[in-house]
Structure 1
Amino acid sequence: MEELLNQLLQSDTESEILEFKEARGQYDKNKLGKYFSALSNEANLKNKTCAWLLLGIDNNKQIVGTSITDAQLNDYKAEIAFHTSPSLNFRDAYRVDVENKKVIMLEIPAAPQGIPVAWKGHYYGRDGESLGGLNIEELERIRNQARVFDWSVQLVRGASINDLSEEAIAKARVQFAEKNHSLKDEMAKWDNITFLNKAKVTINGQITNTAILLLGKAESEHFISPATSKITWILKDRDGIEKDYEHFTCPLFLSVQQVYGKIRNIKYRYLQEGTLFPDEVNQFEPYIIREALNNSIAHQDYMLGGKILVIEREDGVLTFSNSGSFIPRSIEKVIAADAPENRYRNPFLANAMVNLNMIDTIGSGIKKMFVIQKDKFFPLPEYDLSNQKVTVSITGRIVDVNYARKLAQLPDLRLTEIILLDKVAKNKPITDPEVRQLKAKKLIEGRKPNFHISAGLAKGSGQEVDYIKMRGIDDDYYMKLIEDYLLKFKKGTRNDFENMLLDKLPDVLSVVQKKTKVKNLLQKLKTQGKIETDKKRQWVRRELDEI
């Protein structure tokens, strides 16, 4: 990072993708958001993966240092995530010490292909060093990317059919025949070039990026550089420590099966409970692994130069991650629509994968993943769409048998409602309309943002204790504990009462909220005339004759 900082400082001037700010102790969040939008959009237009905003450097490119703290940075990040559209954030924030002066290097991701980045509803850009609105021509140029540019259809100069794997082509023929039964006899007369043209992997015998990606020999990967054709499988133990890994490259048509073979899909045995649960199932349904992995290949943004990650944890969680924003914007939108998306990042690649029986385009794949997990009473797939990545985590076990059984006894619950309950259980935020939807069916209680499952849902599911822990007990109970403490020990500080009560207060509250609750309880007792503070600012009971 020091070397990169020196390179940026040696540039002749600031540019559309580079900005210096003095920011000795803080920086205006609204200006920061405008620069984020502008630099992100300009990086896209200049075909760069990122832009840089450097704090602690004045207009003369002299390092003056900044004292901005991690807490301030987190505040900036929260503001950026909340007010940008689509929701983006700094890819990373690096601290570099130069002669005892701190410089913060904020890495800003380029706007996604076809989607300009707005700050509070306005699009910003740069004209040299000047910040201003993104002009109409540039705005349309970004928007047209989704309709015009398709990396996967581009022809590869210098490549020929000899750069493709014969084994991969042979197996691709089998899958194409499986998908197109009526062409089985005719296929026997096709040479490889004819087959690849028919499968829409090549164009008039010319090799495409898609052909190298799916069917290329391992040594042919260099043809698509700086893009990469890599899947990395990593095995981690329960503590997140890496135990094993392996890299897979093109042909990805064959690598998918090899990656699948690395995943230890052991049998999961349910506790017997009448006939509600089957005796034994796979931890991970083969369909889910296939769908998640092939989706990662089809929707990866190869222009970002990233690789696909498959992380297997020994505690029964499988995670798939690929570079690039999620074009439908939200998983809820995909579930509700239950229809194919009207545009793809790599349409030529997606079409080839359909022809080779790797994916389908009816749009129900993600919904089917949710339904499979629901029917097995496993936690639903969890998506993270931040930082220009799509990450999905699949849990291959029941986290709470009683809770799963209770959900199974509520046949009126729709999939969308189960997804929302899953969010509540994981302390994820839900919108006001979603809150009203769940409260109308008496499925949740509490106040925003601290919701928890309702008493009705807790009753009979073995979650009564958890319900009380989340909802909490009446204030009278906590105040009685405070009075008992003062009766026995005569005096106490707020810290004493926090130590006594924090683990008894509702689990739905954060530590800060619990401490505020203790403060409010003490004030309530004081208002009631039951306690007061002495000269040392310690709490004591008021004597009866003083009341």
Structure 2
Amino acid sequence: MIKKQTTEEQFEKWLGEPEGLNLEFKKAEYEFDKINNLPDYCAALANEGGGKLVLGISNDKKIIGTKSFQGTIDTLSHHLLQNLGIRIDVEEKIYKERRVLIFHIPSRSVGAIIKSSGNYKYPMRAGSSLVEMSQDKIKEILNEAELDFSCQKVENFTLSDIDEEAINNFKKLWANKQNKKEYLTFSTEKTLRAIGALSNDGLNNAALILFGKKQKIDKLLSCAEIIFEWRQSQKIRHDFRKDWREPFFRIYNEVWENINARNIRFPYHEGFIQREVVSFNRESIREALANAIAHRDYHIQSASIFIKATPEKISIQSPGGFVNGVNVDNILERSEWRNRRIAEIFQLAGLVERSGQGMDMIFDNTIREGKGLPDFLGTDDYVVILNIPAEVKDENFIIFLEKITNQKQITLSFEEIFELEKIRENQKIQNLESRKKFLELGLIENVGKGRGSKYILSRKYYEYEGKLWKHTQLVGASRDEKKLLILKHLEKAGKNGSRTSDFFNIFSERITAKEMDNILQELRRDNKIFAKGRGLLSYWFLDKFRFN
């Protein structure tokens, strides 16, 4: 079964979208062919980049409900894994009292085609139908698996063209990370062979980018350049600029020193203790820059890696769009390397996290530092732009997280920190396991009832923020308090009474028409108020004015 259940909001969004390459609705009121149709549709959606197959919905989006696979739903994921070779999560959802099944289908891997065990060999979508994949499409997919640029041999590049300072800097990082001092004694050739930068064929592009002398980079790969620009404010002209076209392991510390020289410190108090957060977190910047070097497209000769910093944020721009299969929505869950050899060398030196965890760490740091979430605004097919916020927006969130984890003696995973940040930003929580844990630990509270219910951070957060009134506003008044407020309002209105529509304006929180009607009817049954007229145009009075 799937961990992250589909919210009603997300499901309704799908219902409002037309069927396409990545979304398919099937009525399947009583059954759905497990042998042919199910693998065919799942394989086709995977071949189109992944998507959702929803059973129990008709073509005109009517909620029919389905009896398909009742009692056997737990076996479907394993069945599809055996037949298609990919894991497909199957979710059973009750929507408007009807049972629907949602198949969460991942994308095929880069350069791979999903073969079906049904009526088609390699199915793909053609409008609302399935067809056999064309030879052109098969060729296009197979060509995606391009060779790793960083592994390719570089002509006219020899050991005499290696920068010894860059090699020595790497060996120190490598020996420290792997806890092996003997690495410091390795010759240049032995080091390069050990890390995959040199083979019997010769030196490769990873060796050139990370260790090659400046003269060779200028001549052979001039786009392997890092440009740093600092702007004191959001303006066109920069206040400072520095360019590097040198081996990365020679200049990586200098790049950080130029950024750090413009770091701003944000002090905050936790009781009598003063703490601080800096604008530019070294760990996050190091990871982001290393990712840009490992992921950029070096075939784009006209572009360089840009680091643009202001007091509000730091943006790292890497030429080339996202690697196939990765996008803004799945970047925290999926990792694909464009230049794997460079990435592996960075891992040996401890400059990047294990594959797939680096971006998690960057997001985790900015959330824990009260800066909010990074984003990828400005990213397109030709450049990836990672924007990391630099300003502390909510120091009380920092205190809240630190105190809660210390008091409760718990450790929160990145996924849990991410869910808490979404709650802080008034977004819906999707991970049911996290929600249960947060409620048990007293990290969050549930306010409201029915479809209007939501989750907010606990009262402690608003105490640290010094805005307990905001918690009261979010929680809202109790039913008895609402009745008392209505009676007070009618006392002021006197013999003139008050229209039903006026009552909605006396509450700070949103109240549904149904809830308001229930409260008024309860007060009427208790002989405390009465009405003249009907509906929203009716007037209400205190019972003491009934015969006046």
- Interval containing the TM-score (normalised by the shorter chain): 0.5 to 0.7
Q: Could you tell me which residue of structure 2 aligns to residue 452 of structure 1?
A: 456
Cα–Cα, structure 1 residues 432 and 141, in superposed 2: closer, same or farther, change >3 Å? farther
Output aligned runs, 1:140-155, within 5 Å.
149-155=147-153
Distance 1:133 1:282 in 2: 55
Instruction: Report the alpha carbon displacement of residue 153 of structure 1 after superposing the two structures with TM.
Output: 2.1
Amino acid at match of 1:425: R
Q: Deviations over 1:263-304 (max 9, x none)?
A: 5223333336345x54x5644442332123213322446679
Q: Which amino acid aligns with 1:413?
A: I
Q: Which has the higher mean CA deviation after the structures are superposed, 208-217 or 320-329?
A: 320-329
What letter matches 2:400 in structure 1? Y
Amino acid at match of 1:427: N
Structure 1 residue 425, shift from structure 2 partner:
1.8
The answer to whether the aligner puts 1:352 opposite 2:350 as a matched pair is: no
Map 1:35-46; keep pairs closer than 5 Å.
none
Give distance in 1, aligned partners of 2:268 and 2:46: 49
Counterparts in 2 of 1:441 and 1:320: CA distance versus 1, 3 Å:
farther
Check if 1:412 corresponds to 2:401. no
Selected match of 1:472 from 466, 473, 476: 476
Displacement of 1:467 in angstroms is: 2.5
SS in 2 for 1:452: strand
Q: Distance in 2 between matches of 1:151 and 1:301?
A: 9
Task: State which of 243, 265, 268 in structure 2 corresponds to 1:267.
Answer: 265
Write the mapping of 1:381-396 to structure 2, written as runs, cut at 5 A.
Answer: 382=373, 391=386, 393=388, 395=390
Change in Cα spacing, 1:113 to 1:169, as seen in structure 2 (3 Å) is farther
Distance 1:296 1:117 in 2: 30
How do 1:46-195 residues align onto structure 2 when only pairs under 5 Å count? Answer: 86=106, 113=110, 125=124, 132=130, 135=133, 149-155=147-153, 160-161=156-157, 169-178=163-172, 179-180=174-175, 181-185=181-185, 187=187
Aligned counterpart, 2:425: 426
Measure, in 1, the Cα distance between the counterparts of 2:19 and 2:358: 40
1:141-188 Cα offsets, whole Å, 9 max, x none, are: 8998898743432346xx5339x996x834322223312553545527
Aligned residue runs from structure 1 range 223-302, under 5 A: 229=224, 244=238, 250-251=245-246, 253=248, 256-257=252-253, 259-260=255-256, 261-262=258-259, 264-271=262-269, 273-275=271-273, 277-278=274-275, 282-300=278-296
Q: TM-score, with normalisation over the residues of structure 2?
A: 0.56
Residue 451 of structure 1: how far off its partner (Å): 0.8
Residue number in structure 2 paired with 1:438: 438
* Cα 1:324/1:409, change in 2 over 3 Å: same
User: How far apart are the structure 2 equivalents of 1:312 and 1:470?
Assistant: 37
Residue correspondence of structure 1 range 274-353 to structure 2 within 5 A: 274-275=272-273, 277-278=274-275, 282-300=278-296, 310=307, 312-315=309-312, 317-318=313-314, 320=316, 323-324=321-322, 344-353=337-346
Residues 165, 251 of structure 1: 8 Å contact kept: no
In the superposition, relative to structure 1, how do residues 518 and 182 fare at CA in structure 2: closer, same or farther (>3 Å)? same
Distance in 1 of aligned mates of 2:185 and 2:139: 46
Tell me: CA distance 1:288–1:538, structure 2 relative to 1, closer, same or farther (3 Å). same
Q: What corresponds to 1:519 in structure 2? A: 513
Q: CA deviation at 1:452?
A: 0.9
Deviations 1:458-502 (A, max 9, x none): 66775633322332222444455455556556477787666654x
Count of aligned pairs: 423
Local SS of the residue matching 1:210: helix
Deviation at residue 331 of structure 1 after TM alignment: 8.1
When residues 274 and 331 of structure 1 are mapped into structure 2, their CA distance, relative to the original with a 3 A threshold, is: farther
The one-letter code sitting in structure 1 at the alignment partner of 2:293 is I
RMSD over equivalenced CA pairs, Å: 5.7
Question: Does the 8 Å contact 1:230/1:247 carry over to 2?
Answer: no
The code of the aligned residue for 1:436 comes to: K
> Distance between the aligned counterparts of 1:255 and 1:406, measured in 2?
39
**How far 1:541 sits from its partner (Å)?**
1.7
Match of 1:378 among 366, 369, 387: 369
Tell me the distance in 2 between the aligned counterparts of 1:537 and 1:152.
Answer: 71
Q: Taking structure 1 as reference, are residues 285 and 437 closer, same or farther at Cα in structure 2, changes over 3 Å only?
A: same
Task: State the distance in 2 between where 1:43 and 1:332 align.
Answer: 17
Equivalent in the alignment of 1:29: 18
Unpaired runs of at least 5, structure 2: 1-14, 25-42, 51-101, 176-180
Which whole-Å CA distance do the structure 1 matches of 2:114 and 2:221 have between them? 28
TM-score (norm 1): 0.56
**Are 2:151 and 2:205, in contact at CA under 8 Å, matched by a contact in 1?**
yes
Cα deviation 1:314-365 (Å, max 9, x = unaligned): 24x445565426869968879xxxxxx8x74432121233466644659876
**8 Å contact 2:227–2:241 — kept in the other structure?**
yes
Instruction: For residue 19 of structure 2, give the secondary structure of its aligned residue in structure 1.
Output: helix
Alpha-carbon separation, structure 2, partners of 1:165 and 1:382: 45
Q: Alpha-carbon deviation of 1:236?
A: 6.6
Alignment deviations for residues 375-424 of structure 1 (CA, whole Å, 9 cap, x no partner): xx623874658988684735564621652553254242212244543332
Gaps of 5+ in 1: 1-25, 45-81, 88-110, 335-340, 506-513
- 1:171/1:461 Cα in 2 relative to 1: closer, same or farther (>3 Å)? same
Report Cα offsets for 1:240-262 as digits up to 9, x if no partner. 66663858575471665454313
Query: Aligned letter for 2:411?
Result: R
Assess, with a 3 A threshold, how the Cα gap between structure 1 residues 402 and 523 changes in structure 2: closer, same or farther: same
Matched residue of 1:161: which SS?
coil
Preserved CA contact (<8 Å) 1:445 1:454? yes
What is the alpha-carbon distance in structure 2 between the residues aligned to residue 546 and residue 333 of structure 1?
69
Change (3 A) 1:257 1:495: farther
